[in-house]
């Protein structure tokens, strides 16, 4: 074990005080907002470049555990979506990407939304930090903070911050986040709070509401939620009533929060500004 | 600090942050395996607490500013990694140092989780305990590789730490 010199002890204390000052300054009211924005923008551009190099290898490794099940799913979806897949790039060789794009197109048709497909290029630090991902579209493509993000099947999250060429998406399953939702079976509204890999915890506004296992939840009506209405959030797998009568339901998410890759930002109002190809509802 | 060491440190921090976000974090989720933290530990294990602390603080602050959580959390935790690893370095056994790096990085990750749970409505605090062991193990494995590379680099002629020059003062017999 090495003894610290007096100078090293002083340095350690000074640096620790400095870190605490930054922490206080940032918590106190966004004094470091510009610094955050600048570094995030610079790193976002570098993430895009790095992902272009390592992305294919990473996606191949990520696909290994579910290779068998994916093949069966891909075969079924290929048959179902043959017509929609015809619109996609014919030279596209990546079947996974094709399947995901087809799913997004179905979501655009079904929800009458204009979708901006994008790829996840970086993940946030996770475990205790905000559950965020960085995507390779930004303000130049028409993305704005607050827009909803989907994987074609359900809600993924919302845009937290849009830089010029990249954006940060806060995942709906983030443990600090809440989503205003509606039970599709009985139209009861409530709040689904993110629970990380555990999905969501749903608490209906009406304490007497009858929530059943198997109920499907979708994002709530426009105006009561910051998300686009009608996006599938998940399915109730367990319901328990606490001693004070509060009903809590465990919800399995429709979109897996840990397996996001090709997703889409739902453009609202500014779809014409999109700098790259968007998926529009079929006429 | 020489210009070559400064350039190498900047490049190392940037590379570690980019690899962390695009490769390590996606492949090791939900465990908080951290390449930059392991790099800080490796620098401290090879070059001592002073280099480890300053490298950890700067790398942590950079990572903080590039994220959405309040700045200072990782700077503080990685500063701790530099301090602890620099103080408890064995320097003879690569494996022993890698284990030390794994333990310290795992603890620092848990400390960051707890700190965030207190100041930033982060994830559940028990994540800190739940993922501590697997994260520490993965960090130790990562440290075996990173430490070997860092040792080799920091012992090269161009990146070796400049040692203080000892000046012997000839003190003559006091008159009087």
Question: Which of B123, B131, B138, B164 is most worth mutating to test chain A (most A CB atoms within 10 A of its CB)?
Answer: B123
Q: Indicate if the alpha-carbon torsion angle B150, B152, B157, B158 is positive or negative.
A: negative
Residues with Cβ within 8 Å of A84's Cβ and at least 6 positions away in sequence, in order, are A102, A105, A106
B25 and A124 within 8 Å at the Cβ level: the answer is yes
The DSSP symbol for B83 reads H
Task: Tell me the CATH architecture of domain B3-154.
Answer: Orthogonal Bundle (1.10)
d(CA B99, CA B144): 8
The DSSP symbol for A136 reads S
**What dihedral do alpha carbons A61, A67, A73, A76 form, nearest 10°?**
110
Domain at A33-172+258-273, CATH homologous superfamily? Rod shape-determining protein MreC, domain 1 (2.40.10.340)
Question: CATH 2.40.10.350 region(s) of chain A?
Answer: 178-253
Q: Indicate if the alpha-carbon torsion angle A159, A160, A163, A168 is positive or negative.
A: negative
Nearest residue to B22 via CA among A52, A258, A94: A52
Question: CATH 2.40.10.340 region(s) of chain A?
Answer: 33-172+258-273
Residues with Cβ within 8 Å of A161's Cβ and at least 6 positions away in sequence, in order, are A37, A40, A145, A167, A168, B68
**CATH number attached to the domain at A178-253:** 2.40.10.350
Tell me how far CA of residue A133 lies from CA of A140, A164, B126, in angstroms. 18, 16, 23
Q: What is the mean pLDDT of residues B60-73?
A: 89
Give tens-digit pLDDT for B97-148: 899 999 999 888 888 888 888 876 656 667 767 778 888 899 999 999 999 9
What ipTM was assigned to the predicted interfaces of this complex? 0.82
Whether the per-residue pLDDT at A115 is higher than 50: the answer is yes
Whether the per-residue pLDDT at B36 is higher than 80: the answer is yes
Whether A219 contacts A200, CB under 8 Å: no
Nearest CB among A47, A127, A130 relative to B68 is that of: A130
Extents of the domains making up chain B: 3-154
Using a CB–CB cutoff of 8 Å, tell me whether B134 touches chain A: no
| A82: closest CA of chain B, how far (Å) | 31
B79 and A15 within 8 Å at the Cβ level: the answer is yes
Beta-bridged to residue A238, according to DSSP, are A250
Question: Which of B10, B20, B21, B75 is most worth mutating to test chain A (most A CB atoms within 10 A of its CB)?
Answer: B21
Chain A hits for B138, CB-CB cut-off 8 Å, are none
Note the pLDDT of residue B57: 95
Among B residues 14-43, those touching chain A with beta carbons less than 8 Å apart? 14, 17-23, 25-27, 29-32, 34
Mean pLDDT of chain A: 82
Quickly list H helices, chain B. 3-19, 25-28, 35-47, 49-65, 73-88, 94-119, 127-130, 132-154
Nearest residue to B54 via CA among A5, A36, A6, A14: A14
* Displacement of CA A163 from its chain's centroid (Å): 17
Please give the structure tokens belonging to residue B22. Answer: 């695009």
**pTM of full prediction above 0.80:** no
A19 and B75 within 8 Å at the Cβ level: the answer is yes
B30 and A127 within 8 Å at the Cβ level: the answer is yes
């Amino acid at each position: 074990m090495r003894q610290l010199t007096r100078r090293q002890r002083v340095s350690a204390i000074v640096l620790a005080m400095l870190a605490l000052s930054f922490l206080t300054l940032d918590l106190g009211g966004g004094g470091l907002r510009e610094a955050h924005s600048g570094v995030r923008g610079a790193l976002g551009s570098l993430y895009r470049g790095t992902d272009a190099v390592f992305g294919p290898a990473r996606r191949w490794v990520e696909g290994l555990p579910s290779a068998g099940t994916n093949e069966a799913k891909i075969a079924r979806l290929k048959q179902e979506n043959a017509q929609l897949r015809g619109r996609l790039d014919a030279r596209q060789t990546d079947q996974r990407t094709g399947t995901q794009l087809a799913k997004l197109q179905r979501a655009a048709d079904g929800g009458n939304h204009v979708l901006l497909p994008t790829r996840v290029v970086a993940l946030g630090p996770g475990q205790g930090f905000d559950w965020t991902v960085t995507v390779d579209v930004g303000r130049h493509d028409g993305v704005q903070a607050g827009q909803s993000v989907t994987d074609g099947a359900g809600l993924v999250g919302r845009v937290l911050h849009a830089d010029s060429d990249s954006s940060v998406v806060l995942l709906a399953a983030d443990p600090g986040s809440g989503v205003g939702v509606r039970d599709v079976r009985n139209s009861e509204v409530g709040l689904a709070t993110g629970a990380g890999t555990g999905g969501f915890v749903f608490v209906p506004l009406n304490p007497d509401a009858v929530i059943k296992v198997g109920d499907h939840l979708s994002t709530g009506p426009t105006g009561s939620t910051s998300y686009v209405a009608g996006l599938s959030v998940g399915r109730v797998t367990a319901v328990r009533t606490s001693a004070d009568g509060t009903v809590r339901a465990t919800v399995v998410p429709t979109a897996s929060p840990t397996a996001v890759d090709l997703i889409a930002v739902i453009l609202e109002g500014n779809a014409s500004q999109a700098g790259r190809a968007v998926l529009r509802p079929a006429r | 600090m020489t210009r070559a060491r400064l350039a190498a440190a900047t490049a190392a921090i940037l590379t570690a942050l980019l690899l962390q976000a695009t490769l390590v974090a996606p492949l090791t989720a939900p465990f908080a395996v951290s390449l930059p933290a392991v790099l800080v530990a490796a620098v401290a294990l090879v070059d001592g607490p002073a280099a480890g602390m300053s490298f950890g603080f700067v790398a942590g602050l950079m990572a903080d500013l590039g994220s959405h959580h309040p700045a200072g959390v990782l700077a503080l935790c990685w500063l701790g990694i530099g301090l602890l690893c620099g103080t408890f370095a064995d320097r003879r056994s690569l494996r022993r140092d890698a284990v030390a790096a794994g333990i310290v990085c795992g603890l620092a990750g848990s400390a960051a989780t707890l700190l965030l749970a207190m100041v930033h409505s982060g994830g559940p605090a028990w994540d800190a305990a739940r993922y501590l062991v697997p994260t520490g193990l993965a960090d130790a494995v990562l440290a075996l590789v990173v430490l070997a590379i860092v040792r080799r680099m920091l012992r090269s002629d161009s990146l070796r730490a400049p040692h203080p020059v000892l000046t012997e003062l000839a003190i003559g017999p006091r008159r009087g």
